[in-house]
């Protein structure tokens, strides 16, 4: 019976993969198509050749290299800091078992449920008061707090089930709390931390609303903000728009593919545990 189900499962997976990849393939095809080809043959036709002028024009128009650097710096900094803060919080809540642990977890859960629209007004005026408005540091601080709230809630459940025998053995060897965290807890939890780092990076890379509010200077904008600002440009034809969409999503896809094994190991580690 299991063998009989395999063709149906493979067919279903193939259809799902095609549905997921079809929008990306359509964008990629139209990104290398000339405006004349697009106007004559439509968006579903294959290009007669590679037309890269749309990609080059968009790259120069928005100074895309600068936007890539801004997005990478912000996303990488947020991913590293959010994982570090999440580990420290979860170590205190999950292993340290501090008082009011349940109340803290409820707080972090509610923090994840708050929409960004509810946070933007107070954060805007706070950043103005402390002189961080229109700086990348402000975006890094805000997203570190947002992402670490989710990371704390997730890692606390992981650390709660951490083997107590290993912690007791480290204590017998004379290891303090920080040494136990660095030498015992972090190495064993590395697959989970790698998954969190990857998700934090991709989530921060794709953020649009808060960077749009906090980064008003053109030289500080991120890739999604640059794409969103140009969507209303009347000088943007369909092929240039497709080129901008391709350049916007390609770095995140490449990052995901590079860390695909890390994600697989993290998921499988959690499943085996």
pLDDT, averaged per 10 consecutive residues of the chain (273 residues), comes to 55 70 81 86 84 86 91 96 95 83 83 86 93 95 94 89 85 85 89 89 92 92 86 68 84 77 56 44
Single out the residue of 206, 200, 198, 210 nearest to residue 249, CA to CA: 206
SS3 label, residue 216: coil
Q: At what angle do helices 64-90 and 223-230 cross, to 10 degrees?
A: 130
Q: How far apart are CA 111 and CA 3, in angstroms?
A: 46
- Cα gap 80→186, rounded to integer Å: 14
Calpha distance 217→33 (Å, rounded): 32
The predicted-structure confidence for 167-188, as pLDDT tens digits, reads as follows 888 888 888 888 888 988 998 8
Give residue 99's pLDDT. Answer: 78
Task: Give the list of residues 6+ apart from residue 202 with CB closer than 8 angstroms, or none.
Answer: 75, 252, 255, 256
**Nearest CA-CA partner of 194 in 95, 105, 131, 265:** 265
pLDDT of 174: 84
* pLDDT for 230: 73
| Angstrom distances, CA of residue 251 to CA of 64, 185, 211 | 12, 32, 18
What distance, in Å, lies between the first and last C-alpha atoms of the chain?
A: 30
Query: What is the set of domains in the chain, with CATH numbers?
Result: 63-230 (1.10.3720.10)
* Residue matched to tokens 């950043």: 127
- Predicted confidence at residue 17, as pLDDT, reads 64
State the Cα–Cα distance between residues 45 and 159, nearest whole angstrom. 53
pTM of the model: 0.85
- Alpha carbon 36 to its chain's center: 36
List the structure tokens of 260. Answer: 């695909």
Tell me the C-alpha distance between 213 and 216, whole Å. Answer: 7
pLDDT at 272: 41
Percent helix / strand / coil, the chain, rounded to 5: 80, 0, 20
d(CA 161, CA 241): 49
């Amino acid at each position: 019976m299991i063998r009989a189900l395999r063709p149906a499962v493979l067919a279903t997976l193939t259809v799902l993969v095609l549905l997921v990849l079809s929008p990306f393939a359509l964008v990629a095809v139209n990104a290398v198509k000339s405006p004349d080809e697009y106007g004559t043959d439509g968006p579903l036709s294959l290009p007669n050749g590679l037309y890269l002028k749309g990609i080059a024009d968009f790259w120069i128009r928005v100074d895309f290299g600068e936007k890539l650097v801004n997005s990478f710096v912000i996303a990488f900094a947020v991913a590293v800091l959010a994982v570090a803060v999440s580990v420290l919080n979860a170590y205190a809540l999950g292993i340290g078992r501090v008082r009011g642990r349940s109340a803290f977890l409820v707080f972090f859960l509610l923090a994840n449920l708050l929409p960004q629209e509810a946070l933007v007004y107070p954060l805007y005026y706070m950043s103005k008061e402390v002189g961080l408005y229109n700086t990348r540091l402000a975006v890094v601080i805000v997203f570190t707090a947002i992402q670490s709230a989710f990371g704390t809630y997730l890692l606390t459940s992981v650390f709660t089930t951490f083997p107590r025998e290993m912690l007791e053995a480290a204590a017998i060897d004379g290891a303090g709390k920080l040494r136990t965290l660095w030498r015992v807890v972090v190495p064993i939890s590395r697959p989970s931390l790698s998954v969190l780092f990857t998700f934090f990076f991709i989530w921060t890379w794709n953020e649009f609303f808060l960077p749009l509010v906090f980064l008003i200077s053109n030289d500080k904008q991120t890739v999604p903000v640059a794409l969103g600002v140009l969507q209303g440009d009347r000088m943007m034809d369909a092929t240039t728009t497709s080129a901008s969409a391709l350049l916007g999503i390609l770095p995140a896809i490449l990052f995901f593919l590079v860390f695909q094994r890390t994600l697989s190991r993290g998921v499988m580690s959690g499943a085996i545990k």
